[in-house]
Amino acid sequence: MKKRNNHIVFSFSFKALAVCLFSVLIILPSCKKEEEKIIKNYYSVGILSNEVLSYTNLKSVVKVRFFVLDKSNADGLVRFDINGRISLSGDYSGAIDSLKRITTPEKGNYSAAILMSNGLDVTINMNGIFDRMEPTVRKIIHGSLPSNEILLAKVGDKQMPIELLSNGFISNPGETDQIISQFFHTGNTEAFDTLRLLTAIDSMLDYLNAKSTYENQHLFIFMTRRKNYWQEINLYSLMNKALQSKVICHFLEFTEPYTWSNNNIHGFLERLNAGTQGIYYKPPYSFDYNYDDGELPMDFLQISGKIPEMMQGGFDCFEVVMTLESPSPEFYNGCSYTSGLRIMLNTDFEQETVEVPFNFFIK
């Protein structure tokens, strides 16, 4: 009888242990996912502007303003010990000369145009692209109005290179909701037409310079990975026109750059962005982050909510000055280059190194 009781106790203990182990196996993945969210879906790290301070063929001194926003800190600038937390990455050697936290100068009210294209050449990950683009557009608009003015435009084909969706600048946010809903309702389709993107950009530069109420002017180019573009305008001429204008061109990567079918156009958008010293954002994580059903990329929502403040000025960010070196003649006037920063982030759960690419243009 005693043996029987011991057997019963042992059997019960084994079952209890099995239940506990099974529970742990279930809980651990969910805990890990919560840990991943802290880094991968709660931080946004991007470039506010860049400027080449001086250069020779072998060396460039570049100033980059960047931000590290923390969703758990009311979208505030992340606080971390900058000593030993940042280093250079990319193809160039060199050194970081200085790093400090700054507040950008106030620029006042602004006029901004948002240039979009609907449809894709491919359907892979289409929903992910529009899940990022639509909420980003909405947050920029609602964060800008009514104090500033916004223009919505769509890139068209050969017959209609550009279409003003808003019939000019808008200051009332209520007017934009139906326009955006209709655009993205019909835009989530596979496309076979050829876009006149360069003509549309050229027209937007003219429109902003001629029609803007404010001197502080911005152009957002929200493109998808199309491959069919008319190239009826010389890229060099269009670049010079942009550099001579007052317009700052911003570029947010809604898909991985390598997925673009037309590398020439994608490269031009990077140069245009770097040359006009605009905001550049390539999410370090969200392209391969495993989102729950109905979950939106928090990093895009985070940065788009801060973009109006970035345009208006008075924005807290980090400013780094670095010297980039090449063993052979590399740096020339009128050319753009890509490098990067490596930033270490910490949470209560994990430590993560974030790669932050940036482009700079010598002029």
* Total-model pTM: 0.84
* Measured distance CA(92)–CA(37) in Å, rounded: 32
CATH code of the region 41-104+315-361: 2.60.40
What is the sign of the dihedral through the CA atoms of 324, 335, 268 and 67? positive
Span 259-288, mean pLDDT? Answer: 85
Span 121-138, mean pLDDT? Answer: 74
**At 231, is the pLDDT very low, low, confident or very high (cuts 50, 70, 90)?**
confident
Tens-digit pLDDT profile for residues 172-212: 888 888 888 888 876 666 677 788 999 999 999 999 999 99
**At 8, is the pLDDT very low, low, confident or very high (cuts 50, 70, 90)?**
very low
**CATH superfamily name and code, 110-312:** von Willebrand factor, type A domain (3.40.50.410)
Q: Which of 68-77, 82-91, 302-311 is most confident?
A: 302-311
Residue 64 tokens, joined: 């980059």
Q: 276-298: string of b/e by CB count within 10 Å (b at 16+)? A: bbbbbbbbbbbbebeeeeeeebb
CB 335 within 8 A of CB 311: no
Work out the percent of the chain whose per-residue pLDDT is above 90.
47
Selected residue with higher pLDDT from 233 and 14: 233
Asked whether the predicted pLDDT for residue 271 surpasses 70, the reply is yes
